[in-house]
Amino acid sequence: MSWKDNLEAVRQWIRLGQYSGHTAGLAPGHAQANLVMLPKDQALDFLIFCTRNPKACPILDVLEAGRWEPNVAPGADLRTDLPKYRVFHNGALLDEVKDVGKYWRDDLVSFLLGCSFTFESRLIAAGFSMRHIEQDTVIPVYETNIACKPAGPFFGPLVVSMRPIPATRVVEAVQITARLPRAHGAPIHVGAPAAIGIRDVNKPDWGKPVEIKDDEVPVFWACGVTSQAVAWASRPPFMITHAPGHMFITDLLDTDLTEL
């Protein structure tokens, strides 16, 4: 067993700054999370935004202003326990850092939002292949023409990730992921990319294109990048997020997120 399989070891290596790579495949079985940190005077509206857009921003944990120890990972520290962070000023990237360090403020409210890694592991367990993993590439992600429901100053487009699914198993993929509302839940669209404003499925806005075979259809799920797209659109004065792919690993098991 490698240190990569052990949650405590992974968290320790990340905290010490010894590991700053992406977290896909680390501590398998544990739910990973997107991180957003905002000052308290913006946090209420952002939390309202999350409740209005639960597929894009499913709430796993929200910490009161000034707290850094998550309820979903007692003993952990959100200021140090992610491999890479991004710091934004007025929506523009200011810095990329291995710990929050000098940017921490006592009025920061931390949000942990569910991540698609959880439902991917469930799809894989059911025998679906994840093309971006097979091709060892970064999952294709697209801005859509669907607007998130705004809240206070927060607005922006819904961002989706795409996985090719055999046409004969689409219903099954919908049912499996629908049971994981805290990991983006059911897809938001099946088939025709143009119907949600995606001009060319081979030209993702983030990540790399993947092959869609003749017997497959593209299936689109709400994506955690939405919260970053909303930040770019809404330009909050100060915000910290995880760097894409460099998530927080919670104590929750993927199975804890199943509903019904």
The count of residues interacting with its own copies (CB under 8 A) is: 23
CA distance linking residue 24 with residue 120, whole number of Å: 11
Q: Per CB under 8 A, does 222 bind its own copies?
A: no
Q: Does 52 bind its own copies (CB under 8 A)?
A: yes
Per CB under 8 A, 100 contacts its own copies: no
Q: Is 62 in the site for its own copies (CB under 8 A)?
A: yes
Contact pick of 35, 37, 43, 240 for its own copies (by CB under 8 A): 43
160, 221 contact by CB (below 8 A): yes
Q: Which of residues 133-152 bind its own copies (CB under 8 A)?
A: 149, 151-152
Task: State the Cα angle at 50 between 47 and 55, rounded to 5°.
Answer: 165
Contact residue for its own copies among 71, 93, 216, 245 (CB under 8 A): 71
Region binding its own copies by CB under 8 A among candidate stretches 177-185, 197-205, 215-223, 242-250:
177-185
Residues whose CB is less than 8 angstroms from the CB of residue 177 and which lie 6 or more positions away in sequence, other chains included: 119, 122, 123, 183, 184, 185, 186, 187, 221
Q: How many CB atoms lie within 10 A of CB 233?
A: 16
Q: Is residue 237 at the binding interface for its own copies, with CB under 8 A as the rule?
A: no
Site stretch for its own copies (CB under 8 A), options 56-64, 89-97, 210-218, 249-257: 56-64
| Structure tokens belonging to residue 32 | 């990973």
Helix axes 117-125, 170-178, angle to 10 degrees: 130
Residues near its own copies (CB under 8 A) are: 40, 43-45, 47-48, 51-52, 59, 62-65, 71, 109, 149, 151-152, 178-179, 181, 259-260
